Amino acid sequence: MRLSQLGISSEFVRSVSDTYTAQAMIMTDKDNNQITAFHPGAMMQAHKTKIEKRADIQLGIISPDGRDAMLEHAEQFKHADIPFVFDPGQGLPMFDGKELMHFIHLSTWVTVNDYEGKMLCDRTGLSSAELSRHVKGLIVTLGANGCEVWVDGQKTLVPPVKAREVVDPTGCGDAWRGALLFGLEKGWSLDKCAALGNEVGARKIAQRGPQNYQVSDLHIG
Ligand SMILES: Nc1ncnc2c1ncn2[C@@H]1O[C@H](COP(=O)(O)OP(=O)(O)OP(=O)(O)O)[C@@H](O)[C@H]1O
Ligand SMILES: [Mg+2]
C-alpha cells in the first residue's frame, strides 16, 4: 500500500500469509547504548525469491537479509550481469572473512558505516584502501562527519551537511543509500552520489521515524 502510494513497484515483494513480517525492537539510551530484539519471520524465506536478468533492472543492492538470501542473491546478480552494492550492515557478523571476500568479489561497490567498516577490515584482514581495489568503490559513512569514499586505494572525504536539527538517527544509513542508488543509476561519480547521500542523511536526522522526511525540494544537479 505504502509502496504503491509512492509509485514504487511491489512486483518482487513476496507475500507469506502464515508468517510474521521481520520485526526489530531497539532500545537506545542517551549514551547511544542499544539492546535489540529481532524476529526474522518471513525474512528467512527471502531466498525463495530469485533474481533473473531483465532489461529494466540495471542495479541492485544486497542489504541485511536472511543469510541464504544474501549469499544466493549476490550470486544471482553476478550471473545476471547486474552490478550491485554490497551493504552488509547488521548482517555482517553472520559471515566470516572468506565469505565477505567472496561477496566483495561479486559486487561492484561496498557501503558500510564506521563500525561495520572496522569489522569488515578485521575479518578480511585488508585495509579500506586494499578492499577498495577489489571494487569500483568502497564508502564508509561516518555519521555527523559525512563519509569517506575509497576508489583504487585513494580516500576522498565528502563533508557532512549540517542538519537543521538532530532528532532521530534511525534510518540515516538507508536514506544515504537511497541517494547512492539514485546517483549510480544516473551514472554519477561516487563523490557526487556521496554528497547527495549526505544531504539526504541530514534531512532524515531532522525528522522522527525512518521514512518521514521529504526530498521533493532538494536541488539535484
Ligand atoms: N548528525 C548528523 N548530521 C548530519 N548528517 C548525518 C548525521 N548523522 C548521520 N548523517 C548522515 O547520514 C549518513 C549515514 O549515517 P551513519 O554513518 O550514522 O549510518 P548508520 O550507522 O548506518 O545509520 P543507521 O542507524 O541508519 O544504520 C552519514 O554519512 C551522513 O551523511
Ligand atoms: Mg546502518
Q: Are residues 70 and 163 in the same domain?
A: yes
83: Cβ below 6 Å to ligand 1? no
pTM summary value: 0.95
Q: Are residues 89 and 196 in the same domain?
A: yes
Q: Are residues 5 and 95 in the same domain?
A: no
Taking the C-alpha atoms of residue 105 and residue 5, their distance in angstroms, rounded to an integer, is 37
Q: Are residues 96 and 167 in the same domain?
A: yes
Domain assignment of residue 94, given as a range: 57-205
Q: Are residues 195 and 86 in the same domain?
A: yes
Atom 20 in ligand 1: residue holding the nearest Cα: 173
Q: Are residues 71 and 115 in the same domain?
A: yes
Q: Are residues 175 and 68 in the same domain?
A: yes
Number of domains observed in the structure of the chain: 2
Query: Within 10 Å of residue 91's Cβ, how many Cβ atoms?
Result: 17
pLDDT at 163: 96
Q: Are residues 44 and 61 in the same domain?
A: no
Atom 5 in ligand 1: residue holding the nearest Cα: 202
Cell triple for residue 29? 539510551
Q: Are residues 14 and 106 in the same domain?
A: no
Q: Would 72 be classed as within a structural domain?
A: yes
Most ligand 1 atoms within 8 A of CB, residue of 36, 61, 141, 203 to mutate: 141
Cell triple for residue 140? 564508509
Q: Are residues 140 and 162 in the same domain?
A: yes
What amino acid occupies position 128? S
Atom 11 in ligand 1: residue holding the nearest Cα: 201
Q: Would 215 be classed as within a structural domain?
A: no
Q: Would 17 be classed as within a structural domain?
A: yes
Do residues 69 and 47 make contact, with C-beta atoms less than 8 angstroms apart?
A: yes
Q: Would 86 be classed as within a structural domain?
A: yes
Most ligand 1 atoms within 8 A of CB, residue of 165, 172, 213 to mutate: 172
Cβ contacts of 168 within 8 Å, gap of 6 or more: 205, 207, 208, 209
Cell triple for residue 46? 527471502
Q: Are residues 25 and 113 in the same domain?
A: no
Q: What is the pLDDT along the chain (221 residues), one digit of tens a residue?
A: 889 998 999 988 889 999 999 999 988 887 878 899 999 999 999 999 999 999 999 999 999 999 999 999 999 999 999 999 999 999 999 999 999 999 999 999 999 999 999 999 999 999 999 999 999 999 999 999 999 999 999 999 999 999 999 999 989 999 999 999 999 999 999 999 999 999 999 999 999 999 989 888 888 87
pLDDT at 33: 85
CATH number of the domain enclosing 138? 3.40.1190.20
Q: Would 211 be classed as within a structural domain?
A: no
Q: Would 218 be classed as within a structural domain?
A: no
- Write out the DSSP string of the chain: -HHHHTT---TTPPP-TTSPPPEEEEEE-TT--EEEEEE-GGGGGGGGS-----TT---EEE-S--HHHHHHHHHHHHHTT--EEE--GGGGGGS-HHHHHHHHHH-SEEEEEHHHHHHHHHHHT--HHHHHTTSSEEEEE-GGG-EEEEETTEEEEE-----S-----TTHHHHHHHHHHHHHHTT--HHHHHHHHHHHHHHHHTSSSSS----TT----
170: Cβ below 6 Å to ligand 1? yes
* Residue 167 phi, psi (nearest 5): -110, -50
Q: Are residues 193 and 136 in the same domain?
A: yes
Taking the C-alpha atoms of residue 201 and residue 146, their distance in angstroms, rounded to an integer, is 9
